[in-house]
Amino acid sequence: MLAGTGLVLANPFTASASVLSANDKVNVAIVGCGGRGSGMIFNNIPKIPSANLVAVCDIVESRREKARDRFYTLFDKKIKAYENFYEMLEKENLDAVVLATPDFWHMQHSVDAMEAGLHVYCEKAMSNKLEDAKKMAQVMKKTGKLLQIGRQRRSNDRYRFTHQILLEREKMFGRLTHAMGQWNRSKIWTMKPNKQDKIDISKLKQYGFDTVDQVYNWRNYTKLGGGVVSDLGSHQIDIFNWFLGSYPHTIYATGNNSYFNFEQADTMATILEYDTPNGPAIGIYENISNSRAIGVYERFIGDNGAFIISEGKDNKIYRESRVKSDVWQKYIDAGYISNMADMKKYKAKQSGDSGIMETAPQISYNINEMRDMDKVYNLPAHTAHLYNFIESVRGEETLNYDAETSYKSEVCIYKIHEAINAGGAKVTIDPLEYIV
Amino acid sequence: MQNKLHYEFEHQAMATQFSIQIVGEEYEDAETASMLCFQRLDALELVLSRFVPDSDISRINRMKSGDELLLDFETWDVLKKAIAIHQKTDGAFDIGVAEYVDVFRATKQGILSDFEMVNALQSVFKKAQNASIYVDPETPKIYCVQEGMTFDLGAIGKGFALDQLSELLEELSIKNYVINAGNSSVLAKGVSKNASCWSFPISSAREEFAVQLNNSAVSATGTFFQGDHIFDPRIGQNICNSMYERVWVSSQSAALSDAYSTACFLLEKEQFNELLQNNSEIAWIAISENGKIQFFTQKNIPLAQYLIS
């Protein structure tokens, strides 16, 4: 019998390539060293062997210097830190920039970078103005440069598996009739500068900010960001559109800022009407900013089954009772899903034949192995999405979510804004509006 | 030092309640620091929880023989610590227990019968005995040479999170604080509102002591909330009668106090002095046995140093 060594601290192989030492790399800079930018610098980039981080950029000196220094400490690699985006483009030999800045900067930086010959990965939302989002997609098409938008669920293996195998190929859930989603959080936090953040007030206006608060809490200002619908809802409504295979023709929405009294709505709800290739469907979506209870997820209802999917703990697949269990057995046999908490391998007999005992739980299913996919990244979604971009720059992949696709979901988001701002109106969308 | 500012913030994460108390800072600075801590905590949970399917730990648990995986720095860090403590406790601390926990849960839910559970535990134990997982000491990378072991960081993750939050608070120049993970691990730095250090009670049915935390952490493991069945990873089985009602361990690191408190619950009292002697990072161990509390400290360090008289 093979005797295992258990869990040990050692390398089983004689040679190991450094995470950051592969050849044929894409020279990349990250713009914005806040929460998302830090995640890219320290969690995403180091897992992408073909990405070579050469510089970071942030208008807050302590943030960019901390990022530069910490990267050196953790990964033993020196990178440059810039205050000014354009100075960085001029001085560095870059192939691509990654934008993790406030929404209002996205269009100008994206367009200028693409026109300077660089590829761009831009965090969502594309912009806080629909016409700017459209311009970004237009410039992408005109220049032929790549522009990936950072809705990372599009590169999440489980979301891709659900779409590609369970929905499109197996049609496991029948006709999808409803998509529901929510993003509940306990409050809209407002941040103050850290004690060591050095803020040069005179510089803020140069970069489009009127106050220090705008730098740290830009999401709360209409001229800088898109509010909860853009920040949170756009991730999930994009999944509605993707999984339903269409875009809404009519939107009802309402919301208000009564809880926190910021410029942007803190509470909203919307109903979206779709004509999908399989028949009519509706989407129901809400944002709550005063309670984190019952969390963040998307839920889809079909006539043969339903599922909850999320980037957190809420993930479950349910079979509709009218579908016999042996019909879904083929999905279990194929390894796509598992039931009974994957404990069937330990059962001596069939479920229900183990004796009379306490009430058994409702049977639900989980995604088991993501087989038969075009590609499984086996990376956290943010990393996978950036990896897809870097590999597309290298010509090894095509973008999972380019600006033209993203623009269609941005149209929905801005129509929701329109309905909310009109005090809860019904808004119809001409199919031509989705076209760049 | 009278009337020091003191604020407390709470957050649900890792299936429990975390709290942060900050002393001597303006409210806005304390609130910003706590917000950054809680964001960090949520991010850590997404990386370290085996119940989040995209986490590093979930992806490790899905590895097949021959697979390798790049890890987040934090995952790599906690795995290295877990391996070190596993070795120092001769296997009493073990993160390779996820499938055992799943078997117990499935039995409680009625999915497995008691008979099936016993066979399942033997099967899991056999698989784990044959498994080989290598964590690269040089880079954040893990290799699965032979599959058969799945990780659950329940006995170190919350403590590790406290250490991470402490690091963040230091970066933010916050000096006086206590961070609490569901009352089972507490890490304190600097001074409290009314004293030169933080103090917390530890109690049994018949005794109570106030221990002082001077830039250190303490963690508890016990039967009160988890029942009297304690799992022993060294034999892959439950022990029906635990030796102690509760064990506390103190260390400068909450990851270490968390992990060692779990291990000590399975160790004989006679082993504690050897453990202390070989591991200077452990400040003290306390056990509650038949309602009485007994302390074990490093040689030449009097117990009085850790107690509030």
pLDDT tens for residues B59-80? Answer: 999 999 999 999 999 999 999 9
For residue A22, the model assigns a pLDDT of 46
Those residues whose C-beta lies under 8 Å from the C-beta of residue A206, and which sit 6 or more positions away, are none
Phi, psi torsion values for B271, nearest 5 degrees: -85, -10
Neighbours of A179 (CB within 10 A): 24
For residue B195, the model assigns a pLDDT of 85
What pLDDT, in 10s, does the model give residues A332-391?
Answer: 999 999 987 677 778 776 555 556 665 556 678 999 999 999 999 999 999 999 999 999
Neighbours of A428 (CB within 10 A): 11
Q: Which residue of B has its CA nearest to A312?
A: B52
**Is A340 close to B54, i.e. CB distance below 8 A?**
no
Chain A residues close to B79, C-beta within 8 Å: 7
For residue B238, the model assigns a pLDDT of 79
For residue B226, the model assigns a pLDDT of 52
Those residues whose C-beta lies under 8 Å from the C-beta of residue A246, and which sit 6 or more positions away, are A274, A275, A276, A277
Q: What is the DSSP letter of B38?
A: H
A162 with A243: CB under 8 angstroms?
yes
CA distance A363 to A321: 11
For residue A299, the model assigns a pLDDT of 98
* Token pair belonging to B4: 């020091």
For residue A244, the model assigns a pLDDT of 98
Is B131 a residue whose pLDDT tops 90? yes
CA distance A224 to A107: 12
CA distance A220 to A289: 13
For residue B175, the model assigns a pLDDT of 94
Chain B residues close to A361, C-beta within 8 Å: 109-111
Chain B residues close to A46, C-beta within 8 Å: 70, 73, 140
CA distance A29 to A416: 33
* Token pair belonging to B68: 């390798």
| Helix orientation angle between A234-244 and A403-421, rounded to the nearest 10 degrees | 120
Sheet containing strand B6-13, strands side by side: B6-13, B16-23, B177-181, B185-189, B216-222, B246-251, B282-289, B292-297
CB contact B73 to A (< 8 Å):
yes
What pLDDT, in 10s, does the model give residues B236-287?
Answer: 887 767 789 899 999 999 999 999 999 999 999 999 999 999 999 999 999 9
CA distance A301 to A307: 7
For residue B284, the model assigns a pLDDT of 96
**Is A343 close to B28, i.e. CB distance below 8 A?**
no
For residue A349, the model assigns a pLDDT of 62
A42 with B130: CB under 8 angstroms?
no
| The residue type at A1 | M
For residue B308, the model assigns a pLDDT of 84
Is A33 strand, coil or helix? coil
B151 CB-contact burial (10 Å; exposed 0-12 / middle 13-18 / buried 19+): buried
Neighbours of B165 (CB within 10 A): 25
- In the block, tokens 């993930």 appear at A315
Is A296 strand, coil or helix? strand
Q: Calculate how close chain B gets to A194, using CA atoms only, in Å.
A: 6
Q: Calculate how close chain B gets to A203, using CA atoms only, in Å.
A: 23
Domains of chain A, CATH where assigned? 26-150 (3.40.50.720), 154-377+402-434 (3.30.360.10)
**Is B112 close to A343, i.e. CB distance below 8 A?**
yes
Q: Which residue of B has its CA nearest to A192?
A: B32
- The partner residue sitting opposite B148, judged by closest CB among A4, A47, A196, is A4
* Token pair belonging to A380: 């956290």
CB contact B15 to A (< 8 Å):
no
**Full DSSP string of A234-269:** HHHHHHHHHHHTS--SEEEEEEE-TTT--SS-SEEE
For residue B1, the model assigns a pLDDT of 45
For residue B152, the model assigns a pLDDT of 96
Residues of chain A with pLDDT below 50 are 1, 17-22
**Mean pLDDT score of chain B:** 92
The complex's ipTM works out to 0.89
A221 with A102: CB under 8 angstroms?
no
Q: Which residue of B has its CA nearest to A47?
A: B70
Question: Could you tell me how far CA A267 lies from the centroid of its own chain?
Answer: 21
**Is A340 close to B106, i.e. CB distance below 8 A?**
yes
For residue A358, the model assigns a pLDDT of 57
Choose among A93, A42, A44: nearest CA to A63.
A42
**Is A11 close to B173, i.e. CB distance below 8 A?**
no
For residue A343, the model assigns a pLDDT of 78
Q: What is the DSSP letter of B296?
A: E
- The partner residue sitting opposite B54, judged by closest CB among A16, A18, A381, is A381
Chain A residues close to B145, C-beta within 8 Å: 5, 12
Burial B246-282 (b: 16+ CB within 10 A, else e): bbbbbbbbbbbbbbbbbbbbbbeeebbeebbeebeeb
**Is B29 close to A346, i.e. CB distance below 8 A?**
no
Q: Cis omega (within 30 of 0) on the bond before B84? A: no
Chain B residues close to A347, C-beta within 8 Å: 111-112, 116
